[in-house]
A and B are shown apart, each in its own frame.
Chain A
Amino acid sequence: MKLNWFSPLPPAPTGIATYASQVLTVLGTLADVTAWTDQPTWAASLEQSVQVQRYQDWRQIPWRQAHQADLNIYHIGNDVTFHGGIWQLSRRCPGLVVLHDLELQELFCGIADATPDGWTDYVAGMTRCYGLAGAQAARQLYFKEQPTATIAHHYPLTEWALENAIGALFHNRQACQTATQTLAQRWHLGYAPLPYAAAPTVAQRSQTSPYQLILFGYLGANRQVETIVRALAQMPERDQFQLHLYGQLADPRPIEAAITQFNLGALVHIHGFVSDPALHQALATANLAFNLRSPTVGEASGSQLQIWQHALPSLVSQVGWYAQLPAGTVAWVRPGSEIADIQTHLRQFLADPPRYAAMGYRGRAVLEAHHSPQDYAEALVEFARTCRGATDRRASGFSTVTAQQMTDRAAMPLADWARSGSANSRDLTALAQAIAALTGNGNEDGDKVS
């Protein structure tokens, strides 16, 4: 099977690039893969597994070359820098969309900011997906009457992300099951656990005080960094911990203010971005990780898999994908009760460090058993074959996209006619039957509505 792959590639500073590197290494052995990128550079090691094809801009794809593949795979997340252009491609050339985030308001607001008439398109998209309520929410967001996170939870825009897609792959099982209730009529839906290549061995770590606590990645407001700092600050036992922050703090000011306010300068260390080896070393020697996400945007967490790779115990928010993690592999923190739960866990950790260490090893076992890139790549290829379809009795995966486009084209005039009384249910039935017959989305006869 020939596949085109569109995602950020290493060394792009995003976990999806790391994911891509790990998956492509295996995927290249299962299919003929071309990874497409608009990055000026990419890790040379990728070319041992796949062909890499550069393009200047999403508007300038050499489509004759791209159409040699059976299917395009598009990776969609919230960072408009990496995913804005990919989404624009996905809506023009139907393919398989891998959803790295499910609540995608940040992506679409970023696209709105970056394109002429972008906000007009954004309001139209919200209206199309959610009707009048969506239009009102769009205006509230535009005029900053509501934060993006609040809007995102109620109006995730997942459907807009799948505009013209053939199918969607989720990394969140519950989200996939929920989506099946509403989206399965139109899209092929699949689930595969987010993969991560486990390093062969786990380093032995010190189990004595002071214990090393760690946070890493893009540390936005939903990572609850300030909450963690304040929870630690209020504990008499705080001197038994050292808290290390790696990565980018979205807004360092409240963190620095809290450190100053609570005299935590000797306990809390802001490292910023470090090299991958340095981060791995830090994880290898840490005793407990924080991986809170409140709110979550429905993502499966590559950071969590990285934590498990080091058999590191972790505190996670009891929400979304994190709430579905096997019991005993993480320690849950309830949204709204962060400070109390963090303090409870830290005290329990002090009372029984091996108990938490065992939690980390159980997480490592889950990683090895269920998150292998090999299993993921095999599942992806199988799902791609399903999406592509085109057997003797089953229409090509493109057929649902075509059927939807035909329906959309006919819907507007038909709605006008229906309002004026010129069209009736027989006309609608005839239209549905015609679309079904032409696109093979009916039964075997092709002349009945599916």
Chain B
Amino acid sequence: MRILVLTTQVPFIQGGAERLAAGLVQALIQTGHEAEIVAVPFKWYPPERILDHMLACHLLDLTEVCGQPVDRVIGLKFPTYLIPHPRKTLWLVHQYRTAYDLWDSDYSDLIGQPNGLQVREAIRQADRQLATYPRRFTISANVARRLQQFNGITAAPLYSPPPLAERFYCDPEAGYLFFPSRISLTKRQQLVLEALQHTRNPVRVVFAGAADSQSDGDRLTALVAQWGLADRVQFLGPISDDRKLDCYARAIAVLYPPLDEDYGYVTLEAMLAAKPVITCRDSGGPLEFVRSGQTGWVVDPTPEALAAAMDEAWENRAAAKLMGEDARSAYADLNISWDNVVKTLLG
């Protein structure tokens, strides 16, 4: 089949959604299909630009290309899942969350705009189109829950392996906790820095990943200086795949306390590297995989609670190692594979 994977692109920003789309296309090709990504550039400010993008997507005709039919499209993100097609499958990464669960949060820009309420309503109205997908899946139970809660639309979770799943390995720990993720407010690197002020031990944390914006990076750098954490914190910035695998392999544990994450490749990567995960009760996707006390820690989203878990991992490294091995076994039990994803999406 000729299959197009529909997603959005924010130029110069790379994250889990981009890797998921690439992984899907690769898996489709390996299964014998022709597959490509259609990535529509997306700008969400000022809010009226969102309406432009919605309309532009809904006007696109991808039923055929150069006279040859496109057999299937797989919609991943807003607003590209609004592109019409007679044979479409939804595998929802996430909706435009500031119109939903993040509307009245510290992470919302929409609510601060005069036309914010109108644009929110427009997004919610347009998302009724999701009900026209005959087959609907989401990347996690958390995303499926939101879709049901806010839109009354049901979809089944369908997990996918993280990139490089087969290459993760475990090495003896080298005395640090690892936090790999884009640097942004919702990933909550700042919460970890606040927690470091409360640890009993001189816990060290290594952060890896690019900042979404200059201000995101500058904010954390300033806090490190302000709180005197320079000898305990290291920001690696964007790193190569090999370095990332190595950082996972030699970590005591992995820190991943985002706010209501859609899915969270980091959790699965940690499990593959046989490392326990420290996460929070409101972290969303990771909670579908982390069992507190067995494969990691699930704590309240406060600096004190996070610090206590970090101290536990720091002090009980043997126990952390065993939890990591349990995490790897738990991943294997989940039977997460691209074969399963392709088979399920294509029905």
Cβ of A438 and Cβ of B113 under 8 Å apart?
no
- Give Cα distance in the complex from A440 to B129, angstroms: 10
B-side contacts of A395, CB under 8 Å: 125
- The CA of A399 and the CA of B118, in the complex, are separated in Å by 8
A405: chain B residues at CB < 8 Å are 48, 51
Across the interface, which residues of B come within 8 angstroms of A92, CB to CB? 114-115
Given A61-B114, A396-B121, A402-B121, answer yes or no on A438-B52 (Cβ-Cβ < 8 Å): no
Known contacts A406-B51, A409-B52; decide if A431 and B122 are in contact (CB<8 Å).
no
| Shortest CB distance B88–A (Å) | 14
Contact A431 B59 (CB under 8 A): yes
How far, in Å, is A73 (CB) from chain B's closest CB? Answer: 14
Q: A64-B104, A438-B82, A439-B122 are in contact. Are A430 and B59 (CB under 8 A)?
A: yes
Contact B115 A67 (CB under 8 A): no
Query: Cα distance A61–B111 when bound, in Å?
Result: 12
B residues within 8 A CB of A390? 121
Q: Closest A-chain residue to B127, C-beta based?
A: A438
Q: Which chain B residues lie closer than 8 Å to A430 at the CB level?
A: 59
What's the least CB distance linking B99 to chain A, in Å?
Answer: 12
Q: Which residue of B52, B113, B114, B116 has the most chain A CB atoms within 10 A of its CB atom? A: B114
Which B residues lie within 8 Å of A143 (CB)?
A: none
A61 to B117 alpha-carbon distance, docked (Å): 14
Q: Which residues of A contact B114 (CB under 8 A)?
A: 61, 63, 89, 92-93
Q: Determine whether the beta carbon of B111 is less than 8 Å from that of A438.
A: no
Chain A residue numbers with a CB within 8 Å of B113 are: 63
Determine which of A396, A398, A401, A406 lies in contact with B55 in the assembled complex, contact meaning CB atoms within 8 Å.
A406
* Shortest CB distance B4–A (Å): 19
| A235 sits at the interface (CB 8 A) | no
The residues of B that contact A401 with a CB separation of less than 8 Å are: 118
User: CB distance A438 to B112 under 8 Å?
Assistant: no
In the complex, the answer to whether B118 meets A440 with C-beta atoms within 8 Å is: no
Chain A: CB-nearest residue to B117: A67
Nearest residue in B to A395 (C-beta to C-beta)? Answer: B125
Q: How far is the CA of A89 from the CA of B115 in the complex (A)?
A: 10
Asked whether any CB of chain A lies closer than 8 Å to the CB of B126, the reply is yes
Smallest Cβ distance from B195 to chain A, in angstroms?
A: 28
B interface: dominant SS: helix
Chain B nearest CB from A386 CB (Å) reads 15
Residues in chain A near residue B119, CB distance under 8 A: 402
CB distance from A423 to the nearest CB of B (A): 12
In the complex, A434 Cα to B117 Cα: how many Å?
22
Please name all residues of chain B whose beta carbon is closer than 8 Å to the beta carbon of A156 when the two chains form the complex: none
Give every chain B residue within 8 A of A89 (Cβ-Cβ). 114
Question: Which residues in A have their C-beta under 8 angstroms from that of B82?
Answer: 438
Determine how close the nearest CB of chain B comes to the CB of A62; give it in whole angstroms.
9
In the complex, the answer to whether B121 meets A398 with C-beta atoms within 8 Å is yes
- B122-A94 in contact (CB<8A): no
- Distance, CA A61 to CA B82, complexed state (A): 33
B208 to chain A, nearest CB (A): 34
A440 to B124, CA, bound (A): 11
Q: A440 near B112 (CB under 8 angstroms)? A: no
Q: Contact flags (1/0) for B16-57 with A, using CB distance below 8 Å? A: 000000000000000000000000000000001001101100
Across chains A and B, the number of contacting residue pairs, with CB separation under 8 Å, is 73
Q: Which residue of A lies closest to B110 (CB)?
A: A67
User: Is A353 interfacial (CB-CB < 8 Å)?
Assistant: no
CB nearest to A94 among chain B residues: B118
A437 within 8 A of B: yes
Q: Is the CB of A399 within 8 A of B116?
A: no
Q: Are B115 and A438 in contact (CB under 8 A)?
A: no
Interface string of A52-93 (1 = CB under 8 A from B): 000000000101100110000000000000000000010011
Please tell me if the beta carbons of B125 and A399 are within 8 angstroms of each other in the complex. Answer: yes
Let me know if A398 and B129 touch, CB within 8 A. Answer: no
Contact with A along B203-240 (1 / 0, CB 8 A): 00000000000000000000000000000000000000
| B55 and A410 contacting across the interface, CB-CB below 8 Å | yes
Whether the pair B51, A437 counts as a contact (CB closer than 8 A) is no
Does the CB pair A438–B121 fall under 8 Å?
no
- Residues of chain B within 8 A (CB-CB) of A67 are 111, 116-117
Judge whether A63 and B48 touch: CB under 8 Å.
no
Residue of B nearest to A92 (CB): B114
Partner of A402, one of B51, B58, B116, B129: B51
Please tell me if the beta carbons of B59 and A439 are within 8 angstroms of each other in the complex. Answer: no
List the A residue with the shortest CB-CB distance to B108.
A64
Within 8 A of B (CB), among A269-309: none
The answer to whether the Cβ of B128 comes within 8 Å of any Cβ in the partner chain is: yes
Cα A390 to Cα B122 with chains together (Å): 11
Shortest B239–chain A CB gap in Å is: 37
Q: Which residue of A lies closest to B119 (CB)?
A: A402
The residues in B between 90 and 145 inclusive whose CB is less than 8 angstroms from any CB of A are 104, 111-119, 121-122, 124-126, 128-129
Let me know if A247 is at the binding interface, CB within 8 A: no
A110 contacts chain B at the CB level, 8 A cutoff: no
Q: How far is the CB of A59 from chain B (nearest CB, A)?
A: 10
A322 to B: closest C-beta gap in Å: 37
The one of A406, A410, A435, A437 that contacts B129, using a Cβ cutoff of 8 Å: A437
Per the bound structure, the CA–CA distance linking A89 and B126 in Å amounts to: 25
Report the bound CA distance from A406 to B48 in whole Å.
9
**Structural contact, A64 and B58, CB atoms closer than 8 A:** no
Contacts of B122 in A (CB 8 A): 398-399, 402, 438-439
Please give, as numbers and ranges, the residues of chain A lying within 8 Å of B128 by CB-CB distance.
440, 446
Contact of A438 among B48, B118, B129 (CB under 8 A): B129
Of A94, A409, A410, which contacts B115 at CB under 8 A?
Answer: A94
B residues within 8 A CB of A431? 59
Contacts known (A61-B114, A63-B113); A434 close to B125, Cβ less than 8 A = no
Complex CA gap A413/B68 in Å reads 29
6 A–B contacts from the bound complex (CB under 8 Å):
A61-B114, A67-B117, A89-B114, A402-B51, A438-B126, A438-B129
Known: A67-B111, A401-B118, A438-B54. 14 other contacts (CB 8 A): A63-B113, A64-B111, A92-B114, A93-B115, A93-B117, A395-B125, A398-B122, A402-B121, A405-B51, A434-B59, A437-B58, A438-B126, A438-B129, A440-B128
**B contacts, CB < 8 Å to A:** 48, 51-52, 54-55, 58-59, 82, 104, 111-119, 121-122, 124-126, 128-129
